[in-house]
Amino acid sequence: MLLVNQIRENYAVSLAGLQKRNIANAASILDQVIALDDLRKSTQTQRDQFQAEANSISKQIGQLMKEGKAAEASAIRERTAQIKEQIKELEDQYTKVEEDLKALLYTIPNVPHASVPTGKSAEDNEIVLQQGEIPSLHADKLPHWELIKKYDIIDFDLGVKITGAGFPVYKGKGARLQRALINFFLDEALAAGYTEVQPPILVNEDSGYGTGQLPDKEGQMYFASADQLYLIPTAEVPITNLYRDVIVTEESLPIRNVGYTPCFRREAGSWGAHVRGLNRLHQFDKVEIVQITHPDKSYETLESMSSYVQGLLQKLELPYRVLRLCGGDMGFTSALTYDMEVFSAAQERWLEVSSVSNFETYQTNRLKLRFKGDDKKTQLAHSLNGSALALPRIVAAILENNQTPDGIRMPKVLHRYLGFDSI
């Protein structure tokens, strides 16, 4: 969440950033934050003043008792009782104001970086670069939802039977392709200096608040109510929460972790003809990279993470483009996001396969994730994450772009993982 001091000291920047996100009442929201913070501070000041008076009276009572002036001491005690009641009322008020302030801050998205373009939807995103040759397919090309039936490698009907729509069953070479991609992505991350972790796929409420998935206004997370746990929408949640309430050393930065997990998203209200097949699922596999960095280096790190994901797409021989998301299309917690999209030759459109984001201090403020420098002072670190990569649309693009009349060629980089070169 945003820092109150950040809002106070950079009010104009904060206001412009929220307006870039198309929040019409941004000024009113920021003014409420400042008003609640003023009330919190004044309440604390009053409480401290009463506490100081109580301490002074306590000393007076002690002195009077030493001097044998019990009657005078007893009279003063009546004032002490009044002060204690006032202190209790102020402490209750302070707690209520602090809770109201935190609740309000939870509803405010991150302030976009200055480079984020103005816009309201995906149509306003900025194309940063495009690379790779778009394949020219034979006349009888098929979309992946037809290819998977033809070669019997992914079964949506079985998934419906077992669970419901959006939960496919991968089988045969389809399952082996999934495993090959996961191992390839993990091996590449390890070679790039990331440390592999295997986190839980259920998280508690504190973890959801820590990375900004809660409050879950859209109801997109699956909730196990009996145990008050959430199925993760991405490995970003448990991996970043490894460092909740932690103070790391400056020398340990950057911290780089990678993890493979299944991911679960309700995707409420997002179904239609444009999300057929693997284009949008309730359960899917993803390899996630997460970095904790020094604030001075987080944007340099963002660029390197973007380049790293592009390298994976190049090795998979997929044409891709990089988008800088506009204010209206950014995630709630992000300060700057790059989306990577691959071209689906059979569907003849671009498919998002990765988002790489810098959250600056938005998550670390919630997490209380800090680092201590040589001066022994603590400050908030910056957090970043990226999909490297999400599998469903990568699989869709591989199947569609590499189809021939005789089968589907597999990217060369996967051959040693697959044990076969075509389907």
**288 a known binding residue?**
yes
Is 363 domain-assigned? yes
Is 116 domain-assigned? no
Strands 195-196 and 255-264: parallel
**Mean pLDDT for the stretch of residues 25-48:** 96
Q: What is the dihedral of CA 167, 171, 177, 179, to 10 degrees?
A: 80
**Sign of the torsion formed by the C-alpha atoms of 123, 124, 125 and 126:** positive
Could you report the per-residue pLDDT of 383-408, keeping only the tens digit for each? 999 999 999 999 999 999 999 999 99
For residue 143, the model assigns a pLDDT of 96
Kindly indicate the confidence band of residue 219, based on its pLDDT and cuts at 50, 70 and 90: confident
Interatomic CA distance for residues 46 and 52, integer angstroms? 10
Residue numbers of the domain that contains 25: 4-106
**98 a known binding residue?**
no
**234 a known binding residue?**
yes
Residue 342: CATH number of its domain: 3.30.930.10
**Mean pLDDT for the stretch of residues 260-284:** 82
Q: Is 262 left (phi over 0), alpha (psi -120 to 50) or beta?
A: beta
Could you report the per-residue pLDDT of 334-365, keeping only the tens digit for each? 999 999 999 999 999 999 999 999 999 999 99
Determine phi and psi for 117, rounding to 5 degrees.
-75, 155
Is 115 domain-assigned? no
**Mean pLDDT for the stretch of residues 166-194:** 98
79 and 201 assigned to the same domain: no
Is 423 domain-assigned? no
**265 a known binding residue?**
yes
Angle (nearest 5°) at CA 291 between 382 and 19: 45
Interatomic CA distance for residues 216 and 200, integer angstroms? 20
Please tell me which residue, 196 or 61, carries the higher pLDDT value: 196
**279 a known binding residue?**
no
74 and 132 assigned to the same domain: no
- The answer on pLDDT for 273 being more than 70 is no
For residue 19, the model assigns a pLDDT of 96
For residue 68, the model assigns a pLDDT of 76
91 and 158 assigned to the same domain: no
Is 112 domain-assigned? no
Q: Return mean pLDDT, the chain.
A: 94
92 and 176 assigned to the same domain: no
78 and 172 assigned to the same domain: no
For residue 79, the model assigns a pLDDT of 76
**354 a known binding residue?**
yes
Cβ-contact 400, 147 below 8 angstroms: yes
Is 280 domain-assigned? yes
CA distances from 215 to 56, 357, 386 (A): 45, 20, 22
Looking at 106, 137, 161, the residue that finishes a domain is 106
140 and 34 assigned to the same domain: no
Is 199 domain-assigned? yes
- Paired tokens of 113: 């970086």
Interatomic CA distance for residues 27 and 16, integer angstroms? 9
- Number of domains present in the structure of the chain: 2
What burial letters (b/e) apply to 153-184, b meaning 16+ CB within 10 Å?
A: bbbbeebeeeeeebbbbbeebbebbbebbbbb
Could you report the per-residue pLDDT of 142-177, keeping only the tens digit for each? 999 999 999 999 999 999 999 999 999 999 999 999
Cβ-contact 241, 169 below 8 angstroms: no
352 and 400 assigned to the same domain: yes
168 and 233 assigned to the same domain: yes
82 and 199 assigned to the same domain: no
Q: Which DSSP string do the residues of 271-290 spell out, in sequence order?
A: -SGGG-GGGS-SEEEEEEEE
134 and 73 assigned to the same domain: no
248 and 135 assigned to the same domain: yes
- The answer on pLDDT for 270 being more than 60 is no
Beta strands in 133-251 (DSSP E): 154-155, 169-170, 195-196, 202-203, 223-224, 229-231, 247-249
Interatomic CA distance for residues 364 and 379, integer angstroms? 10
The predicted model scores a pTM of 0.91
Looking at 74, 106, 138, the residue that finishes a domain is 106
For residue 216, the model assigns a pLDDT of 72
62 and 158 assigned to the same domain: no
For residue 53, the model assigns a pLDDT of 84
- Paired tokens of 127: 């194309």
Residue 59: CATH number of its domain: 1.10.287.40
Is 117 domain-assigned? no
Could you report the per-residue pLDDT of 79-135, keeping only the tens digit for each? 788 888 899 999 999 999 999 999 999 999 999 999 999 999 999 999 999 999 999
